[in-house]
Structure 1
């Protein structure tokens, strides 16, 4: 057994093969925290029962708009939202849920907070309440007024400096999973915290994150819970070393495997990227899913 004291955070006792795998991964890759990307948590509403609605409620709100102009403004403010449970490996099953994106603006870019008075139909819902998307009763303004996690007014969401990132292609995942389950979302959908998000997204990075090698490495950084669940926090994912200047053909091949959903080929190609031996790949295979 070998003691690894390299990390400033902690040390662990590794077998010779585990030590070899760790060194190869860290020699080839650059930690994601040092990439030109942003890794953050999804949107936080402070009260999901009010700000997350189903399609039926969205349609009702739009039907209550008094003018076409109000209806267009309102439709633009209500955006699709995913939950961690909706995200699968390389895809997602949208549950027909929507976020009332009553954001608090971005002062650094001169974007003002949403004025709820410009959205009377939304205000009516937030003021009066009704049956929420999950079947619970939302009792109206008094419930959003007393929440501490809010913006300038009870109608506004808390500050979110990376709000615009949700309009870009992004990689998302559920924070608590049995195995790596990352997906790329191309549209302007949000994802609900505590699920994380990476911007910008690429098929190459998506493939590496979903690979057995990456899952093996990340899971060594935390504790697996009862039932085999692991919390894929940004603080763990950002430590994954990924090659920034991988061979162009290797990147192209891996991206093509994503398109064809050939996970066996992805795992093999990622192992080759890091120069692992057959013995080392078999070791990870036995440890993984």
Structure 2
């Protein structure tokens, strides 16, 4: 039985959108988060412990204020155990109020990291955040100067742990193939997660053009992409139970790469556009969270993935 199945409570989705909860998440005030959850669900400390993988004693210490949670791993377990939606998880893990995200200085005091909250951008224009955020910023919730800055804030295990559907399209898909542990990926697939990976064809013409544009030696990107494909198609797939093989789908395409697109659970999208003479790891990265209220950029990139997948070649 899974951890979530063992819990005796369900957090109302509306709770994550209340002012009290958003403030608690932004402050990483887990004691307050737990109390709000208890008030809404009548969950006991034992129930909270089962859901989050913490002992009842640890839950008690957190709620009483004698233990403060700062570990990203523990925060991630809490996110997963309480089934936090994407926007709530982002607020907690970034430790920033969505309406008050601000630039942060680099270690050398030079260039500043622009983690831009879509809602903050609207507030800066003197408009109502609640009413006008979608008009100005659609469903974009954060923008980072580079993928490395994004992964420092949102490491792969935060993105993928607990996901049930992952779709990735781009070049070599390193965030999934190089930065996420094989054992964790195997656990996800064995537990029922569906994974679709769409690589730039390592034997195609488009990847050769990309190597020239990025000033890489001939064959550099091709070799890296081929390595990632073979790891998934061979090492990972061969270690899966027979009934899980079909949940891992791998395809390639031979077109100019426009963007890396990562779609998780039909709710979260991470987009990184390819810019001339800028490596992927150095390119700006955008976070998009699907909303049920109005169509936004999520549907654009969802459609982009679907179209690219349909005209790609299966391996």
Greater Rg, structure 1 or structure 2?
1
Query: What TM-score, normalized to structure 1?
Result: 0.24
Whose helix proportion is higher, 1 or 2? 2
TM-score, normalised via structure 2 length: 0.22
Q: State the structure with bigger RCO (CA 8 A, min sep 6), 1 or 2.
A: 1
